[in-house]
Chains A and B, each alone.
Chain A
């Protein structure tokens, strides 16, 4: 199916009332979650996983994706008004958005973030369609070794590029991989690491794991000191940009969209990194870089375009190859697998309604977000007056009910408490729970492909270097590992020199 045919076909899917409704629910919830500091997109998607059991896979994917890109619109609001990033992706928006708000230009800053987010998303959709049709064709030539090598690159990239100590990041990925092996081994039927528990035969429950690691752990960490100031009122009329603002926004938005589209589609680099890179780039190309940090509208428009573009193109590897590039995509993939849908090159052929319906829903959802956010900005801003202490007990109850509703199991609820305790301790000690989840989802896929590759090559590991595609991924992984080891050694040396 060509791109135009596909889009037309997708329009037919996405305009169904049911899909439209879940798209609307997704983007509204996403904006809400994004606006409120203290709970991020990972937690929101985890919370909604149980609901997806009751709806079709298409509607589920459309809704969860809407939560993700909707949260990017909402995250900018609290970043700009309170310097409290609602989501990590919009942290960099506070650098210039908050000074703008202090100068009484909150409306213009919000306008810049909304419009550039929209442009970024639309350009991201174009890139997604082009890349996906091309990758879909290439991917049919991928063998088991190529898949395994690409997933290994994804894990290595996510743990080296994301910041933080590389050894801690790798440890979390490996812990996730180990958790992924729990349950019945598909090849031999052996019960692995279940220690006799029948509850663990199907493996660790993704819903319980995600809710414990993100929902519960984030709530515990955010209760103390959550009473923030109230923002000033913002009305639609105040959002009108000056002629100078509009002129300054154009190029940063386009540059940010291009940058975000590129980095979003790579494994391991998601929308957070894209927004930081875009900010750095805007400051470098600016004629007066000293304006940055004290209310430059370019510093809002660029990163917001970048993170939204990246949020869309992150679906490229997830949908065409079945390989999630970042933890949020891992959660999406997990949601699809719950429904028995295995994304990959086959999906484009076998379930075109899934792919093209989602692509068109991105367009509809972003249009909805623009309509919702510009005139209704006052409502979202007033939501920021809602203190976290009124929200989190309700969140905890919904976590429990959500987990319980999946299979009526008290065991799962107690598991959430245990995983939540571990997740909270991990976050305190600055071990990344997101990487654990990425490893958990990719683990079974890597093991299956690795076993298959070794079976085909009769146990010869050289297959990873003889196949050009696999060799490229392996060499890139090796380069990233060397780079991070070198970085760690250098910083250790610098520390001992200064002592």
Chain B
């Protein structure tokens, strides 16, 4: 059986999210009336609208063949991982180490094999970031690992 999985799951997710927003807003916020709309008016209506639109996307996808586009897992995980590492690392590891690790992690899924260009890129970007943000702009960011914060985590 052929299905357009992207539209099917995308539509259903959106419909569920819309329903959730509509119900949550309807229950928690004052709906008001047309002449004096409450804070709940807009989100409730929009949530319901999104639920309908999500179903309109999902239902025709049930009987239709789609063009699959696979998720690029290594690329997605490396890039998102680098950002998460950055978010957690900044306060603890400092700017220099965090940047170096993030560049190495992000460059990992690139198709060109070898470690030499990765290390060179890592050194170049880290030096640039250190010069611009640490030395040039003097931003109030810790540059080096904060030992006191490492223990607390």
Contacts and interface: CB of A to CB of B under 8 A. Distances in A.
Binding partners A and B: yes
A421 B39 CA distance: 30
A103 B34 CA distance: 65
A394 B100 CA distance: 10
Nearest to B86: A400
Contacts, number: 188
B24 A193 contact: yes
Contact of B106 (A171, A185, A224, A392): A392
Contacts of B72: 220-221, 223-224
Given A185-B39, A397-B125, A171 B83 contact: no
Contact of B79 (A165, A181, A420): A420
Most chain A CB within a 10 A radius of its CB, from B17, B106, B112: B106
Given A404-B90, A410-B90, A187 B83 contact: no
Interface string B46-80: 11011001101100100010000101100110011
A178 B80 contact: no
A190 B32 CA distance: 13
A430 interface: yes
Contacts of B93: none
B6 A410 contact: no
Contact of A188 (B11, B24, B30, B46): B30
B110 A192 contact: no
A36 to B, nearest CB: 16
Interface in A184-200: 185, 187-188, 190, 192-193
Contacts of A460: 34-35
Chain B interface bracket (under 10, 10 to 19, 20 to 34, 35 or more): 35 or more
B86 A397 contact: yes
A181 B46 contact: yes
A281 interface: no
Contact of A454 (B37, B46, B60, B69): B37
B137 to A, nearest CB: 9
A349 B152 CA distance: 55
A190 B129 contact: no
Contact of B84 (A401, A414, A424, A459): A414
Contacts of A454: 34-37
B10 A420 contact: no
B34 A459 contact: yes
Contacts of A221: 72, 75
Given A221-B72, A389-B111, A188 B86 contact: no
Contact of A396 (B9, B14, B42, B82): B82
- Grouping DSSP codes into helix (H, G, I), strand (E, B) and loop, the B interface class, with mixed when no group exceeds half, is helix
Contacts of A202: none
Interface residues of A, number: 66
Nearest to A421: B80
B25 A421 contact: no
A175 interface: yes
Given A181-B43, A221-B72, A430-B6, A167 B37 contact: no
A450 B46 CA distance: 14
A35 B12 CA distance: 38
A223 B109 contact: yes
B69 A220 contact: no
Interface string A453-487: 01101111100000000000000000000000000
Interface of A: 165, 167-168, 170-171, 174-175, 177-178, 181, 185, 187-188, 190, 192-193, 216, 219-221, 223-227, 387, 389-390, 392-394, 396-397, 399-401, 404-405, 408, 410-411, 413-414, 416-417, 420-421, 424-426, 428-431, 447, 450-451, 454-455, 457-461, 492, 495
Given A168-B11, A216-B80, 12 more contacts: A167-B56, A171-B50, A171-B53, A174-B46, A175-B17, A178-B47, A220-B72, A390-B121, A397-B82, A414-B84, A430-B6, A450-B42
